[in-house]
Amino acid sequence: TSTLSDRSLTGRLVCGTTLSTLRRHPDSRLAELFSGQPKLLTDPQGRFFIDRDGSRFGSVLEFLRSDRLPVENIQEVYEEAVHYNIKPLIKRLEEAPQLFGELVGRQQFLSRVPHYKENIEVLIRIARADAIAARRSSILICVLRSEEDLGCYDDAINRLEADKESVVTFGPWKAAPSVRDLLDCVKMDIQSRGYQVSVEPHAAERSFLSKSYNFFHKLTFTWW
């Protein structure tokens, strides 16, 4: 029997298990850690240390023991399964309803939006730079749903009275989700990083003769 102590910033969890359980899937990183001479530090009591969140590791052990899947914190356990490369657990979790829509639906859509992940990082970087002595930071997003919208981009950006240099552009993409869906994804992914954000259409000034575009939206970070 081996005793593991999972360390995290929030505390410590001691788990008792066997080497055969840890080595159940030989091609996993977890099995590799405990194959031959264990590659982990131990404490004076001989307990192995794994510097991961212990509350998640219990669910990983439960699957290794009994093939039982977790019923909560699915995303967090999935991240642990990926970290330890436990392929059967990864596959089972990806088929669970809680992850299926995220991986097959949302992530597949976002993979068709050019530079999506990079744009999220740009939005956060701009907002943080504008946060000095401010309660809120606002950034304009330009969402181009189609190639036709892209053809109108130059005219739309030239008519924009706001700061054109800081506008972050998404699209176009070839998938069914709408502009609203894309904006929901932007908001969701930024909020998952711990930020408080809201999105609303940018109210541009209009004149009777000038053509207007609905490409622009205001993303607002609230700091306090």
Cβ distance 136 to 220 under 8 Å?
A: yes
119, two tokens? 């744009």
Domain ranges of the chain: 7-95, 113-222
Give dist(CA 114, CA 74) in Å, integer.
Answer: 28
Provide the 8-state DSSP code for 217.
Answer: E
CATH architecture of 113-222: Orthogonal Bundle (1.10)
The pLDDT of residue 13: 47
Radius of gyration of the chain (CA): 24
Residue 192: is its pLDDT beyond 80? yes
Mean pLDDT, the chain, whole residue set:
87
Q: Is 207 exposed, middle or buried (0-12, 13-18, 19+ CB in 10 A)?
A: exposed
Encode pLDDT of 85-140 as tens digits: 999 999 999 999 989 999 899 999 999 999 999 999 999 999 999 999 999 999 99
Identify residue 2 by its one-letter amino acid code.
S
Read out DSSP for 34-67?
TSSS--S-B-TT--EEE-S-HHHHHHHHHHHHH-
Q: How many CB atoms are located within 10 Å of the residue 28 CB? A: 22
CATH of 7-95, one of 3.60.70.12, 3.30.1330.60, 3.30.710.10, 3.30.1490.390: 3.30.710.10
pLDDT of residue 8: 41
Instruction: Indicate the pLDDT class of residue 7, thresholds 50, 70 and 90.
Output: very low
57-73 per-position pLDDT tens digit: 889 999 999 999 998 88
pLDDT tens, residue by residue, 72-82: 889 999 999 99
Residues above pLDDT 90, as percent of the chain: 64
